């Protein structure tokens, strides 16, 4: 049985983090059926060169998510909160990089390679912790698995 390829949307595609997401999708050779790049009205119409094609960035609207399976969002918390119900209603999964859903008990907070099993608990939205936590946990997870860490004090100055 073959796996169906995803229809992907990048919400916040023209921002600094959105452009990094695009680079990573390219570097990892993520296999997809379709991809679209979404932004605010201000950036709509701009062009993105990706894998030998030029794409026109579209303004994000509720209809933008029709037929989309996965939305990778880094457009700010208010944008994620605005579009999350539309994405879920249309059958997509929002993977959100903002702080909008980090404290929501119904949204799994997932760090790749640390607690991947929590992906199974989503109800259409997946959040990730801030960048400092994600990086730190990648190092701490194997240490915890081996030594059972009990306490950690961390300070960040961002």
Looking at residue 156, what is its pLDDT?
85
Contact 130, 99 (CB under 8 A): yes
Q: What pLDDT is recorded for position 1?
A: 47
Checking if the pLDDT of 74 tops 60, the result is yes
* Angstrom distance (rounded) from CA 14 to CA 137: 28
Give alpha helix (H) positions in 28-130.
Answer: 77-89
What's the maximum distance between 2 C-alpha atoms anywhere in the chain?
52
* 1-24 tens-digit pLDDT: 457 899 999 999 999 999 999 999
Spatial neighbors of 113 by CB under 8 A, at least 6 apart, are 138, 141
Say what the pTM is: 0.89
Rounded Cα–Cα distance for residues 126 and 40 (Å): 22
Task: Kindly give the residue spans of alpha helices, DSSP state H, lying in the chain.
Answer: 16-27, 77-89, 131-147
In this prediction, what percent of the chain has a pLDDT beyond 70?
A: 99
Strands 125-127, 70-73: parallel, antiparallel or unpaired by DSSP? unpaired
More confident residue, 130 or 66: 66
Q: What pLDDT, in 10s, does the model give residues 95-114?
A: 999 999 999 999 999 998 99
Return the percentage of the chain with pLDDT > 90, whole number.
89
* Amino acid 2: pLDDT: 54
State the sign of the Cα–Cα–Cα–Cα dihedral 122, 116, 9, 1. Answer: negative
What backbone phi and psi angles, to 5 degrees, belong to 23? Answer: -60, -40
């Amino acid at each position: 049985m073959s796996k169906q390829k995803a229809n992907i949307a990048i919400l916040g595609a023209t921002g600094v983090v959105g452009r990094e997401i695009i680079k990573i999708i390219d570097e990892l050779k993520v296999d997809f059926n379709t991809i679209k790049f979404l932004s605010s009205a201000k950036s709509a119409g701009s062009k993105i060169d990706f894998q030998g094609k030029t794409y026109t960035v579209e303004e994000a609207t509720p209809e933008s998510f029709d037929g989309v399976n996965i939305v990778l969002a880094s457009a700010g918390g208010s944008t994620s909160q605005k579009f999350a119900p539309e994405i879920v209603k249309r059958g997509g999964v929002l993977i959100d990089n903002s702080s909008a859903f980090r404290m929501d008990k119904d949204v799994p907070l997932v760090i790749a390679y640390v607690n991947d099993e929590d992906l199974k608990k989503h109800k259409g939205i997946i959040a990730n912790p801030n960048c400092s936590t994600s990086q730190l946990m990648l190092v701490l997870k194997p240490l915890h698995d081996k030594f059972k860490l009990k306490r950690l004090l961390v300070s960040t100055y961002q």
